[in-house]
Amino acid sequence: MKRLSSVRLVALFALVALIATFAPVTAQDTAPAQNLTDACVENFDPDTDYFPDKIEIVDATGFEVEYFNHYKVVTVTRPWPEADEDAAVTYVLVQCGTPAPDDIEADAVINVPVNNFVSMSTTYLPYMDLFGVLDGLVGVDMASLASNEAVLDKAAAGELVDIAPNFNVDIETAIDLDPELIFTYGFGFETDSYLQLTGAGLPVALNGEFAEITPLARAEWGKFLSLFFNTEAIAEAEYSAILDEYAELSEMAAQVDDSPTVFLNSPFDGVWYMPGGVSYMATFLQDANVDYLWSDDDSTGVLFLDFEAVFDVAADADFWINANQFWTTVDDALAEDPRYGEFEALQSGDVWINNLTTNELGANDFFESGAAYPNLILADLVAIFHPELLPDHEFVYYQQLAE
């Protein structure tokens, strides 16, 4: 055989290398460098770690995860605020294309990444958008409650099904849709959607984000959702950035000597629901360095007050925030109750409503993307209470009540 010249050998090796570069490398050929978000394993190797991207829980207290080579064991330890230890639920998330473990008790075994799913809360949508998985969203509770433009576009195109029209779960519709997974929440009583869905044999993942009492802990439930899509790397990077910005804003506000007095909300059917002193909103106010007038209260929920009880404490407060979502002017407030005009905050024009991002359907993005991005809410609050710190701030969720 005629010997190849060295030049031709080099050229041949280069050609082989080029072909190898463009040849498809499937999951079974090598250990993945990152989690598989759009592929299944073809040749399973029990010694391969199929989840090189993992989450670390920093602030959330209601869920845990333990990683194994080809599956994850996820436990929601506090699925609703008053849940006891018996309410905990466990899910085994198995990398598709690999065998499910047969020695673990679980409420459900779910193949990941999930490709076809339903979201029963708008607060999950920002994360699903971040992870780039909205193409797989086939159902929602009610599309009219959403603020996310991509979700509204899908609904307008007839690509989404409402699972809970008029706030009532339609089990038959959910069954007909046949989703791989339904993300929902529960309250622990027999009429809630979680128990209705699981009772019908539908695959459900119970999300307990609203049981968290701090903004950062609640936002970290994006990592919980990422476990089902294998998008842990995205969730980790995003939460780290949120954490850094939130800390920077809080530290900035802490340097201000003046802490204005603040109260929240407005009556509904005669009851003024004032957040407790260690509640979700109270934490925002503490981090914004203001004097919340009910900060001495030690509850994490809400206080049920009447007008007189609030007026006795907050008549001379500097700021009034999160009042009626449907107010846009002072006249709107006075039309509801002329007594509001006796509050100093309304007289001085320092009433701020978190309704800047309300769309024509009435959906308010404060309660959607705001849950995922507490750094944006805190930035708005710092700009309201300490405008000298953020003089060029563009508000995302809040607007001042107009004259």
173 and 296, same structural domain?
A: no
* Residue 312 in this model has a pLDDT that exceeds 90: yes
pLDDT for 24 equals 41
Do 196 and 300 have their domain in common? no
Verify that 228 and 262 share a domain, yes or no: no
pLDDT of residue 13: 35
Question: Could you give the CA distance from residue 73 to residue 260 in angstroms, rounded to a whole number?
Answer: 46
Cα–Cα nearest to 355, from 143, 121, 214, 147: 147
Assigned domain for 189 exists: yes
Please write the tens of the pLDDT for every residue from 150-161: 999 999 999 999
95 and 156 housed in the same domain: yes
Model pLDDT, residue 12: 37
* Element spanning 347, H or E: helix 344-348
Angle separating helix axes 280-287 and 232-254, nearest 10 degrees? 50
Tell me if 93 is assigned to some domain: yes
Close Cβ partners of 349 (under 8 Å, ≥ 6 residues apart): 330, 400, 401, 403
Does residue 246 form part of some domain? no
Q: Is 90 exceeded by the pLDDT of residue 306?
A: yes
Distance in angstroms (rounded) separating the CA atoms of residues 33 and 282? 42
Statement to judge: residues 153 and 295 lie in one domain: no
Domain end (from 238, 267, 288): 238
Q: Is the dihedral of CA 340, 346, 350, 356 positive or negative?
A: positive
Residue 48 lies in a domain: no
Q: Which of 238, 269, 291 is a domain's end point?
A: 238
User: How many domains are contained in the chain?
Assistant: 2
Residues 230 and 275 in one domain: no
Please name the residues in contact with 229: beta carbons below 8 A apart, sequence gap of 6 or more. Answer: 37, 112, 113, 114, 128, 131, 133
82 and 213 part of one domain? yes
Residue 387 preceded by cis peptide, ω within 30: no
pLDDT (average), residues 119-133: 98
Domain match, 71 and 204 both:
yes
Shared domain for 230 and 338, answered yes or no, is no
Asked if 110 and 92 touch (Cβ cutoff 8 Å), the reply is yes
> Do 381 and 281 fall into the same domain?
yes
Question: Is residue 180 domain-resident?
Answer: yes
Residue 392 CB contacts under 8 Å (≥ 6 apart), including other chains = none
Distance CA 140, CA 112 (A): 20
Cβ-contact 261, 313 below 8 angstroms: no
Look at residue 13 and tell me if it is in a domain.
no
> What CA–CA distance (Å, rounded) separates 261 from 319?
6
- DSSP-derived secondary structure for 121-160: SGGGHHHHHHTT-GGGEEEES-GGG---HHHHHHHHTT--
How big is the CA angle at 234 (ends 233 and 236), to the nearest 5 degrees?
65
Can you list the positions of beta strands (E) in 192-333?
204-206, 261-264, 267-268, 271-275, 291-292, 302-305, 319-321
137-177 per-position pLDDT tens digit: 999 999 999 999 999 999 999 999 999 998 889 999 999 99
Whether residue 7 has pLDDT greater than 70: no
Terminal Cα distance for the chain, rounded: 95
Same domain, residue pair 390 and 268 = yes
Is 250 a member of any domain?
A: no
Which residue among 238, 270, 295 closes a domain? 238
User: Which residues are bridge partners to 397 per DSSP?
Assistant: none
The lowest-confidence range among 186-200, 263-277, 360-374 is 186-200
Instruction: CATH number of the domain at 345, please.
Output: 3.40.50.1980
What pLDDT, in 10s, does the model give residues 50-93?
999 999 999 999 999 999 999 999 999 999 998 999 999 999 99
- 127 assigned to some structural domain: yes
Integer CA distances (angstroms), 342 to 266, 274, 284, in order: 14, 19, 26
Owning domain of residue 351: 258-400
Query: Domain check: are 229 and 263 in the same one?
Result: no
